[in-house]
Amino acid sequence: MTEKEKAAQGLLYDANYDEHLKKERLECIEKCFDYNHIRPSNKEERRALLHSLLGHVGEHVTIEQPFHCDYGYNIEIGDNFFMNYNGVILDCAKVTFGDNVFVAPNCGFYCAGHPLDVEQRNQGLEYAYPITIGNNVWIGANVAVLAGVTIGDDTVIGAGSVVNKDIPSGVIAAGNPCKVIRKITEEDKKKYWK
């Protein structure tokens, strides 16, 4: 079994020294460098590069620069997606964003985790668990979403949160660790219409 196959199955794998994975990461880093140096007004070139970098790109997708990811091909983005400045996706496992997702500046999605055992960690071993973000999700600034997390549809994650467990649909959640604060209600529809 290759190291890439081990990663896809959520097993410990050699992320640091496997030549195939190092080559794939370098190719991705080069594409990210190119993307981050395209003039912001050149939307067609930006879109074309995103299509060559990511596994799936829906309609009306904006990823502000700078943006960084590990492999690119593990990232799937739905329609009407916006990621603000300094987005990071460590996509050693699948990262899926639904439709109508808004991501504020300085957010990270981290599929990688490392063993607590120092000997395994020093061998360059890690694990990779997928991240799934539902439809109609808003993620506030400086949020970290960790390996294996699913965030349900119609949910808001407050700024500065560390999301290390699944968050259900239709709630506001925040904190470190991120926890559900309350459900989103009909009253929330009226809040900003003054």
Strand order of the β-sheet with 13-14 is 13-14, 125-128, 112-113
Using CA atoms in the order 27, 75, 132, 101, what is the torsion angle rounded to 10 degrees? 120
Residue count of the chain, please give it.
194
How large is the C-alpha radius of gyration of the chain?
17
One-letter amino acid at 151 equals I
Distance CA 10, CA 127 (A): 6
Q: Is residue 51 a contact partner of residue 35, using CB atoms and an 8 Å limit? A: no
Quick check: helix, strand or coil at residue 134?
A: coil
171-174 vs 179-183, strand pairing mode: antiparallel
Identify the active-site residue in 20, 56, 68, 114: 114
The label of the residue with tokens 């690119």 reads 72
* Residue 114 appears among annotated catalytic residues: yes
Q: Active-site positions? A: 114
